[in-house]
Amino acid sequence: QVIKCRAAVAWAPGKPFSIEEVEVAPPKAGEVRIKLVAAGICRTDEHLLQGCFPKAEFPIIPGHEGAGIVESVGEGVTSMKPGDKVIPLCHPQCGECSFCQNPESNFCQKSHFSELQNLLPDKTSRFSCKGKQIHHFLWVSTFSEYTVVPEYAVAKIDAAAPLDKVCVFGCGFSTGYGAAINTAKVKPGSTCAVFGLGGVGLSAVMGCKAAGASRIIAVDINKDKFAKAKQMGATDCINPRDFKKPIQQVLTEMTGQGVDYSFEAIGHPDTMRAALEACHKGWGVSVIVGVAGAGQEISTRPFQLVTGRTWKGTAFGGWKSVDNVPKLVTEYMSKKIKVDEFVTHMLPFDKINEAFELMHSGK
């Protein structure tokens, strides 16, 4: 049956959300329909609203970080059943492509970087509103009370998990934490710098701490973020606006030769460059975690790399999503990782535009 429910629709770039009644079609073969219980908001949704997200199409239901309960499944779905708690995944794991079969990679041929996720795999939408087709966002569209997602973009999780907390495993936490653990492979006793202390950056701080880093320098222009960063494991917090010299020079002077690992969790080409140049000659590794606007480019002098620095990027923190998100939730349930501290505000769904204002104001 078609379900009528509320969703936050973005009709065009640059416009606020409009809460609309939408129709959500039943799942087709290999698909799962989910009743969303909680959704997190992330800068990537903001990039989408500003029209900076590559190849997305409007009108669209954004949102890519959420958790819910399976309402119904399409033909052939065997890994979950109605009533199961799940996290929809903006980074799928089909299990069949050459990337999924390579243990070195968490990329998937079905992800938006290869095949657009504006429509479901059969190139149709499950959403309509006022007689118009509405596009999906990364197949997930968590800003709807119900959504339909391919089975290989859903992780079944612990039945006892609190959905209003574990929704952050759908993007922010997994991305930042995995950037340190999987992509950089931070070593015990090392020195790290994290640029940007939103949810992703704070998760990277926590990942550096979990990996045994002895010094973690948190960098942000909003000093209100520093207390939380220290709670997550940062040893030093610095504001680039407090210095006359470039931040990479400040970090190099603070550490003698630069940091062993740096993470850019903002999405600006200039801070990506600063993060690389703050790395130690000979072995420093810098990981780009933030997503820059479509068409932007990065630059540095080749000498930075010739002298032994490594520049890497990460998508979804290097985790194979279907396999690893349930394990991360289990680690949270056994108190090995903290997540509750990431939730600063809880708002009802119809206040979604206010939630974005809180994000803009750094709260």
pLDDT in tens, 41-75: 988 898 899 888 888 999 999 999 999 999 999 99
Q: What is the pLDDT of residues 279-300, one digit of tens each?
A: 999 999 999 999 887 789 999 9
Q: Are 359 and 46 in contact (CB under 8 A)?
A: yes
Exposed/middle/buried for 93, CB within 10 Å: 0-12, 13-18, 19+?
buried
Predicted local confidence at residue 249, as pLDDT: 98
CA 198/CA 273 separation, integer angstroms:
19
Predicted local confidence at residue 51, as pLDDT: 87
How far is the CA of 350 from the CAs of 7, 19, 145, in angstroms? 9, 7, 11
CA 70/CA 162 separation, integer angstroms:
15
Both tokens assigned to 68: 């819910």
Set out the domains of the chain in order of their start, with CATH numbers: 3-170+320-353 (3.90.180.10), 174-317 (3.40.50.720)
Max Cα-Cα span within the chain: 64
Identity (one letter) of the amino acid at 34?
A: I
The ranges of the chain with pLDDT < 70 are: none
Spatial CA neighbour of 108 closest among 307, 323, 296, 286: 323
3-state secondary structure 35-50: EEEEEECCHHHHHHHC
CA 296/CA 235 separation, integer angstroms:
32
